[in-house]
Each structure stands twice: as structure tokens, then as C-alpha cells.
Copies of this chain bind each other. A is one copy, B any other.
């Protein structure tokens, strides 16, 4: 079945990377023949597109989870979100995300579509949380963008260094920066929020 093949392919690609991977090598790793991959996905490009599309869907599923729990304080919500998104079980998917991201920056064929919502899709739910805390739409959008950058920047750091303690400390610094300035900024009539999750 094509779906099983796709799942297995994503598993392998997430674990081992997609760059310079041939249909033949992938097929032997998956216990089939490259003929099958061509058959089910049309071409090599078709396989990559299917994989990337599927990973995108999984990422967006995470966004949905992200906005679920509103019972926590902003600081605790941030911590919970960070613990979730930075869990080692998600690292393979995130490595794949950054790998394809890096290639898409050069506008390679087949990767252009990946960039489409790569920031925009995340801004809506995150900035919704900001607006709920009283930010203006413009401020909420800028804060969401910043929070997204912090998350991705620290994730990139974590994947590269695997220095869990150091990256966690930076995230705590980020949380502190937001919560400490919150009272002050509230006094000025606006609040920073920036709840990345």
C-alpha cells in the first residue's frame, strides 16, 4: 500500500536525511524495490513532495495541540509547549524540517511550496494567544513572529549541540524576559504576552 510505504519512507528519511538519497537506497532500506517507489509516487520528485507534504501536515497538527490548553499561566504554557516541541522523539522530524527548509531557501524545484506557510501558518494561532492577552493586532503579530523565531532558533541550537541544559536555560531566560516585563508593559497600556504555545 502506498500509505504504508509513505510512512516508512518518512521514518527513514527523518532518521537519515533526505539529501543525496536515491530511490534505490531508500527502497532497499524499506525492503522493497525502487520500482515500487516510482510506481506509487510517479517519480522521485513526487516522493519528495509527498513526504514533505505529509510532514507539513504533522507540523500543523502540532499547532492545533499548541492552542488547546488555556488553563495554564503564560509562563507555564510556554514551558509546556517548549517541553513538548523540544522532546527528543520529535527531533527526527525537526531535523528533516530544517534540512528541507535549508534547501528550499535556494528555491530548488519542488521545495518552493514548502516555504509558503512556513511562518504565516504559525502566526495566526500564536498571535491569537497574544491578542487574547490584550495586545493590538500589530503587536500580537510581531510578538508571535518573535516567539516563533525564538522557538526555531533554540530548536536549531538544541539539534546541533544537544546541550539540553544550556538551551533550556536560554528558554527560561526568554520566559523570564516576558513575564518580568509584563507588569511594566501592562502599566504602559500594552502587554507583551508572547505565548508561543
Contacts and interface: CB of A to CB of B under 8 A. Distances in A.
Nearest to A120: B161
Contact of A102 (B101, B118, B178): B101
Interface in A25-62: none
A98 B153 CA distance: 11
Q: How large is the interface on A (under 10, 10 to 19, 20 to 34, 35 or more residues)?
A: 35 or more
A58 to B, nearest CB: 18
Interface of chain A: mostly helix, strand, loop or mixed: helix
Given A17-B108, A150-B146, A153-B149, A119 B160 contact: yes
A99 to B, nearest CB: 4
Nearest to A151: B153
A16 B161 CA distance: 27
A177 interface: yes
Interface in A98-143: 98-106, 108, 115, 118-120, 138-139, 141-143
B19 A160 contact: no
Given A105-B159, A149-B153, 4 more contacts: A119-B161, A143-B173, A152-B156, A177-B177
Contacts of A115: 160-161
A138 B169 contact: yes
A5 interface: no
A166 interface: yes
Contacts of A153: 148-154, 156
B98 A102 contact: yes
Contacts of A152: 149, 152-153, 156
A47 to B, nearest CB: 15
A20 interface: yes
Interface string A70-88: 0000000000000000000
